[in-house]
Amino acid sequence: MTTPTDESTHAAAEVLSAVASFAGLDVATLESISRAAIRRKYAAGQVVFLEGEPCTGLYVVQDGWLKSVKTSPAGREQVMRFVGPGEVFNELGVLVGENNLVTVIALEPTTVWIIQRDTLQLMEEHPQLSRVITQNLARRVQHLIGLVEDLSLRTVESRLARLLLEQSSTDVLVRRRWATQAEMAARLGTVPDVLNRALRNLAEEGLVQIQRHQIQILNRQGLEDKAMLGN
């Protein structure tokens, strides 16, 4: 890692101050972590870090989307999480101090800021930063509990219905270029053929309308009922 310059420190401060997770930090704490931040750019498909590699630090997304995945020996992926602008990841690696637990890959051109792990002694000097990281970690654990619940207790159709509801702030879910059926299937713990059947079933029941670049929710209550169904 290179040493941050005054220019990069200012740029980091601008990005971090706009991130919800750091909104409550005082000026001194924000300046301290900005000095510890390094900017990195990744192309679509580029690996940010690999499972098993030493943990570098805490990552903050400035722009672009990434996915964190676990991969089986046979090469099948389980997407643990999609990460977008303003989000933070790798809290667990920072706190546990071990190797990376997942592989993270850029889905599109992406810019991240890395708060280097060897400078996160700042957590001892700035209790606010410690609280931020701990709260983020708690949310990640909550997300993983939900993921385990989905994979264990819900059908693919139910998991799909829940995902569509979570990702749509309106009744129209615009699909990003990288949001292929293969990526969606990996998020839901299934394969594209099964996901395709589940989408068709939801459409045939009049719950959604599937178009090339978007999915429109036609019956939100019906989709919510579907999301509650178990195996």
Domain residue spans in the chain?
Answer: 6-151, 155-227
- 104 and 89 Cβ atoms separated by less than 8 Å: yes
- Tell me the fold of 6-151: Jelly Rolls (2.60.120)
pTM: 0.77
Q: Judge whether 6-151 and 155-227 match in fold.
A: no
- Tell me the fold of 155-227: Arc Repressor Mutant, subunit A (1.10.10)
Say which residues have a Cβ less than 8 Å from residue 202's Cβ, sequence separation at least 6: 157, 160, 161, 208, 223, 226
* Residuewise pLDDT in 10s, the chain (231 residues): 555 566 788 888 888 888 877 777 788 878 888 888 899 999 999 999 999 898 888 899 999 999 999 988 888 888 988 999 999 898 877 777 678 889 999 999 999 999 877 666 666 666 777 777 777 778 778 877 878 877 777 889 999 998 899 887 788 888 888 888 899 898 898 999 999 999 999 999 999 998 878 899 999 999 999 988 765
